[in-house]
Amino acid sequence: MMDAETADLLGESLERAFRHAAAAEVEAALDEVGWREALAEEGGAVVPLLFTRQGMANAASGALDDLLTAALGLPADAGTAFVLPEFGGYGAPGSTEDGALALRGLGTARMSGAARAVVLAAGRDGALRAFTVETGKLGVRPIGGVDPRLGLVAVEGRGLTASGGSAITAAAWEGALAAGRAAVACELIGASRTMLRLAREHAVTRVQFGRPIGAFQAVRHRLAESLVAIESAEAAATAAIEPDGGVSPLPAGMAKALAGRNARTVARHCQQVLAGVGFTAEHDFHHYFRRILTLDGLLGDARTLTRELGEGLLRDRRLPAAPCL
């Protein structure tokens, strides 16, 4: 396991990497830091170190591509992207029939410049296989939407050759989903922390009636409730990552749902504290608000995950074991 000193050094290096503006520059900086090597050695233990900082910086990278590709046991590199499920969903984005592969999903900022992409596809019998296809054979279309800075793209393909591929068990896909959900949860937490920082800075500098607005109880309560929401989401994300670097599917789903819901709570309170300035294009708050709305929809949104987790608990009549912290 990574010791505390090494984790601090890696965290500082990752923080510097996310100071770059363009996604390509971030990718190059992550290569220099050795992100993929750390992922191979430490597994999920490095997920909070990277994705929390990525969320705090409102940055975009292909780190999620690396994480999901490696979680399926496939080689991850800067030239390999991963086709994500469509927004709000988490099923396999591809399907195979009569030797042909069709797909419809999302790609991160890496997709446009990648040479190849990993696609998880389900056969007619439900069996899963992972295919690696050339991105030149795919239709890749930039997505504007609420957060164009994230660099998401729509990815489509039809009539592709579905030969070879790696067999993927349902358990392996659940494990990859768990790792991805833990990562996105950490990114939501990072974005929430920056929203709270921006609101706090405004509260101590904005003066009304001769006093900083942070002196008023109503403002303090909103900031305090935001902090509680962030800390509870972080506790859930921490509990989802096991000491050996593995990620548990059920706790990861709970962490992703909680992080998505709590990020909206933080955004609502911080917008109230920031008041009119929070609506302006010049202030950074709206970039983070847009980011959490988008991140919530990746690999299952909070509402869908909460409903399905609840249905599972009612069906099994058994609560999950409490994590050992």
How far apart CA 53 and CA 24 sit, in angstroms, is 17
Question: Is residue 132 helix, strand or coil?
Answer: strand
Token pair 């505390």 in the structure block, residue: 4
- Judged against a pLDDT cut of 80, whether residue 96 lies above it is answered with yes
Q: 11 lies in a domain?
A: no
What DSSP designation does 306 have?
H
What pLDDT does residue 325 have?
45
What pLDDT does residue 66 have?
97
Token pair 């990815």 in the structure block, residue: 155
Are 214 and 306 in the same domain? Answer: yes
Are 311 and 176 in the same domain? Answer: yes
| Cβ count within 10 A of residue 35 | 26
Q: 50 lies in a domain?
A: no
Q: 290 lies in a domain?
A: yes
Stretch 10-18: mean pLDDT, rounded?
Answer: 92
Are 145 and 233 in the same domain? Answer: no
Are 98 and 152 in the same domain? Answer: yes
Query: How do residues 203-220 score in pLDDT, each as one tens digit?
Result: 999 988 889 999 999 999
The CATH number for 277's domain is 1.20.140.10
Return the structure tokens found at 151: 């660099």
Specify the DSSP element, H or E, that contains 168.
Answer: strand 166-168
Asked if 196 and 60 touch (Cβ cutoff 8 Å), the reply is no
Asked if 269 and 230 touch (Cβ cutoff 8 Å), the reply is no
Residue 305: name the closest of 272, 262, 256 by CA. 256
**Domain limit, last residue, from 136, 168, 200:** 168
The answer to whether the pTM exceeds 0.85 is yes
What pLDDT does residue 40 have?
92
Are 163 and 196 in the same domain? Answer: no
Asked if 118 and 71 touch (Cβ cutoff 8 Å), the reply is no
Percentage of the chain beyond pLDDT 90 is 80
Are 262 and 303 in the same domain? Answer: yes
244 — pLDDT class (breaks 50, 70, 90): confident
**Domain limit, last residue, from 125, 147, 168:** 168
Instruction: List helix spans (H) across 58-169.
Output: 63-71
Are 162 and 182 in the same domain? Answer: no
| Cβ count within 10 A of residue 152 | 23
- Judged against a pLDDT cut of 70, whether residue 151 lies above it is answered with yes
Q: 63 lies in a domain?
A: no
Question: Is residue 243 helix, strand or coil?
Answer: coil
Are 182 and 268 in the same domain? Answer: yes
Q: Tally the domains of the chain.
A: 2
How far apart CA 37 and CA 31 sit, in angstroms, is 9
Looking at every residue in the chain, the average pLDDT score rounds to 93
DSSP bridge pairs for 155: 105, 140
Are 134 and 185 in the same domain? Answer: no
Higher-confidence residue of 237 and 324: namely 237
**Domain limit, last residue, from 143, 168, 193:** 168
DSSP bridge pairs for 95: 102, 122
| Cβ count within 10 A of residue 86 | 15
What pLDDT does residue 163 have?
75
Token pair 């010791």 in the structure block, residue: 3
Are 272 and 234 in the same domain? Answer: yes
Are 122 and 195 in the same domain? Answer: no
- Judged against a pLDDT cut of 50, whether residue 262 lies above it is answered with yes
Q: 13 lies in a domain?
A: no
21 — pLDDT class (breaks 50, 70, 90): confident
Residue range(s) defining the domain that contains residue 164: 79-168
Q: 16 lies in a domain?
A: no
Percentage of the chain beyond pLDDT 70 is 98
Query: How do residues 100-139 score in pLDDT, each as one tens digit?
Result: 999 999 999 999 999 999 999 999 899 999 999 999 999 9
- Judged against a pLDDT cut of 80, whether residue 322 lies above it is answered with no
Are 302 and 203 in the same domain? Answer: yes
The CATH number for 110's domain is 2.40.110.10
Q: 181 lies in a domain?
A: yes
Q: 20 lies in a domain?
A: no
